[in-house]
């Protein structure tokens, strides 16, 4: 459980910790469900006070908070617990950067079932589930995604808004494909009062995007086109098309098919903005982008975390003259900017 | 996924990694089920060779091995994978120290169910399961334990054999309570040809211990007493009683009750040898012993990782004049030696 010490003697500790790593997810899920981090932020800082506030047992709360002290999400002094900087920023529901809801998607029953059949996925070379063709609607999964994952978008959405020249407030027509919660397009609209967003996703998912557009006061510049990104009429003359976390679900021909549709929908001087996990050529770095490939093996028929060279090939085949790669601060994904 | 950098800016990376930590367990389970580490040890060192050897897809194997390269259980050079020192020692079935079987107990459906109901356990102050009273027989769980967990015993079993003075080969009568796989008592018998072991556990569990006693050629000095450690007739006149990983399942009065029975079974100059997870007084260090408390909250009615002071109190109440604490090299548990 302590970090690897870097000594050369083989140690079973990391292997043991990996065998029980599921316990960490379950403990965090329990703590989030009971809203322990928020309760501590509100001043309930002993097991006794926390138990009273959350309707739990003092004994259970003591053991849970000691565990999160070991895991360095809390500190403990005599019997008082405090949030760390990380848990104060990201697990306390009063924090604007709170990410707690993400566990509902990241550790959803769907995701657990996919990973529970991982040996079978390795045999097949694709998910063992029935829901691996992501050109088809699996609305319950993506509504879940849209409801849970919006908090994670903030740094990348701001970065993308910058790429669209939002600060200059030029009239911009922006297509947001696989919009989900809608927060990428909505952030562009918030930063540029002359941007108009067209969001594409499955009908039930777009209801979440519409809620967010109202919540952030851009509903009058946010319209929707419900349906498959491979079939729905996009319209044309777009200045920008946003493709955030979509290509990794598909095989190469399917990615190219989508990108050809995008190319046709853009103005001549328009740009496609792709946000993706892009591992290096070695496919084992950087860690989060490289490891993401396994999530696609577990959950999709033929999805993957593609390298930059692979994206350049696909996007070139789809008609784009040039694609450049841009790291995004604070985010494991990168942006690919494609233009003529 | 990279280790925490120690910078002071809050980062969501550890929180994100905890939300998806269950993926690490599932990936390791898949790799062990497909025996990937053994296949690499045998020379199948590319995704193509591994796929052929394990009857899987090259694509699935490439993604799985890249993932374990990210997690530092493999290294990758061009397209060839190698074991690290840790995976060579502990995940390759040709290694005598191989721990691969442990995942069958540590991530068993029973353990996952217990942790899946952790919020409820925090509410109650004890497991949400029906199997939380460990004075009762739950043979399927403990047969599973006995079949999976024997490899982990080696360093502690050798240490305990040393405490019994095995090297001097004095005639010794040794009671091995909650013997499980039997490897603690069996190791004493292997190191001391004049030691006779009496193993206590549930009947189906003792079948595993008997198999191991035959396997290690000590069956003629290894007898069994099937039943509850709280009810079965122990006999008396023992030189040593071994209590390995048993007390943590119970509340304090139950621990004392067991230790009184142990005290009566020992010779006047006999010693009780307890192997346990013993956190410091702060209950949040050392990491593995402190975190073990959560496993007991998830899986037992009132079990815990007790401190040394708590054990001293219990063992004193049970009749022992003196209990001392002994760290065990390479092992997260410690030994408590109790005597008159």
Whether A10 sits inside 8 A of B66 (CB atoms) is no
Alpha helix (H) residue ranges in chain A? 13-19, 21-33, 36-41, 47-54, 58-70, 85-90, 103-106, 109-116, 118-124, 139-148, 154-163, 183-191, 203-215, 252-265, 287-299, 308-317
Active site residue: A181, A248, A249, A326, which one?
A: A248
Cross-chain residue pair A125–B152, CB shorter than 8 Å? no
Chain A CB contacts of B58 under 8 Å are: 125
pLDDT at residue number B49: 98
The complex's ipTM works out to: 0.94
Least confident of A106-110, A272-276, B145-149, B220-224: B145-149
Q: What is the mean pLDDT of residues B250-261?
A: 98
Q: Which residue of B has its CA nearest to A86?
A: B10
Q: Rounded to whole angstroms, what are the CA distances from B250 to A174, B53, B299?
A: 62, 46, 11
Mutate to test the interface with A, among B1, B9, B26 (most CBs of A within 10 A): B26
**pLDDT number for residue B9:** 73
A115/B contact by beta carbon, under 8 A = yes
Report B:277-296 residues touching A (Cβ under 8 A). Answer: 282-288, 290-291, 293-296
Interchain contact A27–B (C-beta under 8 A): yes
User: Taking CA atoms, what residue in B is nearest to A11?
Assistant: B86
Active site residue A222: no
Give residue-wise pLDDT tens across range B14-30.
Answer: 999 999 999 999 999 99
Which pLDDT value is given to residue A227?
Answer: 96
Task: Say what the pLDDT of residue B257 is.
Answer: 98
What's residue B138's pLDDT?
87
Decide if B329 touches A, using CB distance below 8 A.
no
Query: Does any CB of chain A come closer than 8 Å to the CB of residue B229?
Result: no
pLDDT category at A82 given cuts 50, 70, 90 is very high
- pLDDT, residue B10, reads 78
pLDDT at B3: 40
Supply φ then ψ for residue A339, to 5 degrees.
-150, 175
Chain segment B284-331, per-residue pLDDT in tens: 999 999 999 999 999 999 999 999 999 999 999 999 999 999 999 989
Cα separation, B330 vs B139, in Å, equals: 29
Say what percent of chain B tops pLDDT 90: 87
pLDDT at residue B8, rounded to an integer = 57
Architecture of domain B118-339: 3-Layer(aba) Sandwich (3.40)
Annotated domain spans of chain A: 13-98, 118-339
Instruction: Using the predicted structure, report yes or no on whether residue B137 has a pLDDT greater than 90.
Output: no
pLDDT digits (tens, 9 = 90+) for B170-183: 999 999 999 999 99
* Mean pLDDT (whole number) for B214-219: 98
Average pLDDT over residues A285-302: 97
**Measured distance CA(B148)–CA(B110) in Å, rounded:** 14
Q: Does position A3 have pLDDT exceeding 50, yes or no?
A: no
pLDDT at residue B2 greater than cutoff 80: no
- CA–CA gap between residue A333 and residue A309 (Å, rounded): 16
Averaged pLDDT for residues A98-115: 95
Q: A182: Cβ–Cβ under 8 A, 6 or more apart, which residues? A: A146, A176, A197, A199, A206, A208, A209, A210, A212, A213, A222
Nearest residue, CB atoms, B287 vs list A70, A282, A287:
A70
Q: Is the CB of B55 less than 8 angstroms away from the CB of A87?
A: no
Give how far A203 is from chain B: nearest CA, Å: 28
Distance from C-alpha of B27 to C-alpha of B86, rounded to nearest angstrom: 17
The yes-or-no verdict on residue A1 having pLDDT over 80 is: no
Residue B7's contacts (CB-CB under 8 Å, 6 or more residues apart) are none
If you average pLDDT over residues A225-239, what whole number do you get? 97
Average pLDDT over residues A91-115: 95
DSSP B58: H
pTM of the model: 0.94
Calculate mean pLDDT across residues A61-65.
Answer: 98
Mean confidence (pLDDT) of chain B: 95
Q: Is B298 on the interface with A (CB under 8 A)?
A: yes
Question: Most A CBs within 10 Å: which of B119, B124, B148, B290, as the mutation test of the A interface?
Answer: B119
The answer regarding whether domain A13-98 maps to CATH 1.10.10.10 reads yes
A34 reaches B (C-beta below 8 A):
yes
Compare all CA atoms of chain B with the CA of A88 and give the residue at the minimum distance.
B10
Choose among B130, B284, B263, B146: nearest CA to B210: B146
Percent share of chain A, pLDDT over 70: 98
């Amino acid at each position: 459980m302590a970090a690897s010490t870097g000594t050369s003697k083989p140690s079973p500790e990391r292997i043991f910790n990996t065998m029980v790593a599921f316990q960490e997810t379950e403990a965090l899920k329990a703590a989030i469900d009971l809203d322990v981090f928020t309760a501590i932020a509100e001043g309930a800082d002993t097991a006794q006070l926390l138990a009273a506030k959350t309707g739990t047992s003092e004994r259970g709360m003591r053991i849970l908070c000691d565990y999160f002290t070991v895991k360095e999400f809390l500190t403990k002094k005599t019997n008082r617990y405090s949030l760390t900087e990380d848990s104060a920023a990201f697990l306390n529901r009063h924090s604007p950067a709170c990410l707690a809801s993400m566990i509902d998607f990241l550790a959803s029953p769907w995701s657990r079932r996919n990973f529970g059949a991982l040996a079978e996925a390795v045999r097949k070379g694709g998910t063992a589930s029935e829901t691996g063709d992501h050109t088809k609607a699996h609305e319950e999964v993506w509504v879940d995604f849209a409801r849970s994952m919006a908090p994670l978008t903030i740094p990348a959405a701001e970065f993308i808004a910058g790429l669209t020249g939002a600060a200059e407030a030029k009239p911009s027509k922006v297509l947001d494909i696989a919009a989900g919660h809608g927060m990428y397009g909505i952030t562009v609209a918030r930063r540029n009062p002359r941007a108009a967003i067209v969001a594409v996703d499955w009908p039930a998912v777009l209801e979440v995007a519409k809620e967010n557009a109202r919540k952030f006061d851009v509903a009058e510049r946010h319209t929707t086109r419900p349906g498959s990104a491979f079939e729905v009429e996009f319209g044309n003359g777009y200045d920008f098309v946003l493709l955030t976390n979509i290509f990794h679900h598909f095989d190469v021909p399917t990615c190219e098919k989508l990108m050809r549709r995008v190319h046709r929908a853009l103005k001549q001087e328009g740009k496609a903005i792709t946000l993706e996990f892009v591992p290096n050529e070695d496919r084992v770095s950087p860690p989060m982008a490289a490891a993401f490939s396994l999530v696609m093996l577990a959950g999709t028929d033929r999805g993957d975390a593609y390298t930059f060279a692979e994206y350049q090939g696909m996007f070139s085949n789809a008609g784009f003259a040039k694609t450049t790669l841009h790291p995004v601060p604070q985010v494991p994904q990168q942006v690919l900017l494609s233009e003529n």
